[in-house]
Structure 1
Amino acid sequence: MIQTVTLNFFRFGPISQRLWAFAQMGAARFSMPKIPGIGFWKLCGSGTGEGFTPIPNTAVYAVLSTWDDMGSARAGQTASVFQNYRKHADEAFTLYLSPTAARGSWSNQQPFRAIPAPDTSAGPIAALTRATVKPSVATRFWGRVPDISTVIGSDPNVMFKIGIGEVPLLHQITFSIWPDTDAMANFARRGGPHSEAIQAVRDEGWFSEELYARFHVLDAEGTWEGQTPLPHFEDAA
């Protein structure tokens, strides 16, 4: 079976909805394990702006889940916990992903079963990095992140980007979607804040745990900021 990963994003408006969403960071932990077919899962908040800051954004939350296959992933979206999120949210966007590469660990687990894509250049391609930042270097790490966000945002090829995390300051997840592997690789090779931060991580050992994964985007549903970030799937539907 080919593993499917879902990444759900929810945007909340009024204070009452935001308070509900914040409460779910604790309450939904009891419901998630009961969803039939679900494997590894994480509830995440986000930072302000596009998520690449240590200041929490009370409007945006995300849920990452793994499933044995696409059928289980789609069936899982009908679970009451996801339905409740959609009911309270002003906007929802769901991605269905297939892991094509993964290295490292997340909460001492290897959550993604990667199967290399037959055509590694075909897109859209998604990249996810997740790290636990050592408290002693958190200030230096977050001093780098705004510059990295600016570089990503100025790249005309990036189709979607967001920063999320499980615990403010100490856990950081960056997620981006690119039209193909060449576009993503060109960004990674580019000099500047992004390359400097990567070098600092390697030289100074900023992370106590890290994971890098690449995915093929299988499908997308919903909108984000009033738009369809991946119109390819809207056209296909």
Structure 2
Amino acid sequence: MMGFARLSLPRVDGIGFWKLCGSGTGEGFTPVPNTAVYAILATWPDLETARKQTRDAAIFRRYERRAIEAWSVFLGPTSVRGNWSGVVPFQSDHHQDTGALAALTRATVRPSAALRFWRRVPDISAVIGHDPNVAFKIGIGEVPLLHQITFSIWPDADAMAAFARHDGPHARAIRAVRDGNWFREELYARFRVLDTRGTWNGGQPLAKLSGQT
């Protein structure tokens, strides 16, 4: 179904930039594919269109019918830096970073650096997995090993910044990436969390951010 979606998604009214992604095992931060979890990333002209089309368009209805579970996160970009497949996919609304925030990083890893990159990923995954502030995290990708995306949601900008600044595996990996020029292309984006729909593992990943049970 993911392969056939390449024919259907361009015909969905209102859709802009889109990507089909697989995931890794565990929380996605491994090179071993998880054939049960997939992600569709898409841009839309406004929140109303995003809600309507991800609910009513034929391709999305087909996924809903065949999936055990589906979770959608609706986001508004607040800052974007870098490129994805040679373009800037998100247009920042320059909204102030207040409330829950999502962070997306995407990189094309140089083949010569892939082994060194993946050696560091398990340590980073362990640290982010034990961070009490992170509400949700997953690793996904377009091409195994070489096109990698991390997506995480945090209660606020301070919690996100504290993780990024901490001198642990994440910070050391960033320094290694810069020093070794491991990435051919990279993008970093922040988003406001506007809304969600559905469930993940039977619950609401962002419930603790709003005090829900």
1:215 maps to 2:159: no
How far apart are the structure 1 equivalents of 2:163 and 2:124? 11
Asked if 1:145 is matched to 2:121, the reply is yes
Corresponding residue of 2:46? 69
Answer yes or no: is the 8 Å Cα contact 1:220–1:233 preserved in 2.
Answer: no
Partners of 1:111 and 1:90 in 2: how far apart? 30
Residue 172, structure 1, aligned to residue 148, structure 2: yes
Which amino acid is 2:111 matched to? Answer: P
Structure-2-length-normalised TM-score: 0.96
Classify 1:172/1:182 alpha carbon distance in 2 versus 1 (closer, same or farther; 3 Å): same
Aligned with residue 115 of structure 1, among 84, 90, 93 = 93
Pick the aligned partner of 1:43 from 20, 40, 47: 20
Give the drift of 1:69. 0.5
2:52 maps to 1:97: no
1:205 corresponds in structure 2 to 181
Distance in 2 between residues matched to 1:87 and 1:207, nearest whole Å: 38
Q: Give CA-to-partner distance per residue, 1:33-71, whole Å, 9 cap, x none.
A: 000000000000000000000000011000000001112
RMSD across aligned positions (CA)? 1.2
Aligned residues: 210
Report if the CA contact (8 A) 1:101-1:116 is conserved: yes
Q: Say whether the 8 Å CA contact 1:228–1:234 is kept in structure 2.
A: no
Aligned residue in 2 for 1:226: 202
Mind listing any 5+ residue stretches in structure 2 that lack a counterpart?
Answer: none
Report the CA distance between 1:25 and its aligned residue: 2.5
* Aligned with 1:133 (options 78, 91, 109): 109
Q: 1:54 corresponds to which residue?
A: 31
Percent identical across equivalent pairs?
64
What secondary structure is seen at the aligned counterpart in 1 of 2:159? helix
- Counterpart CA distance in 2 for 1:170 and 1:234 is 38
Moved over 3 A (4+): 232-235
The one-letter code of the counterpart of 1:137 is A
**1: CA distance between counterparts of 2:46 and 2:141?**
25
Amino acid paired to 1:192? G
8 A Cα contact 1:131 1:208, kept in partner: yes
Q: Return 5+ residue gaps in structure 1 as ranges.
A: 1-23
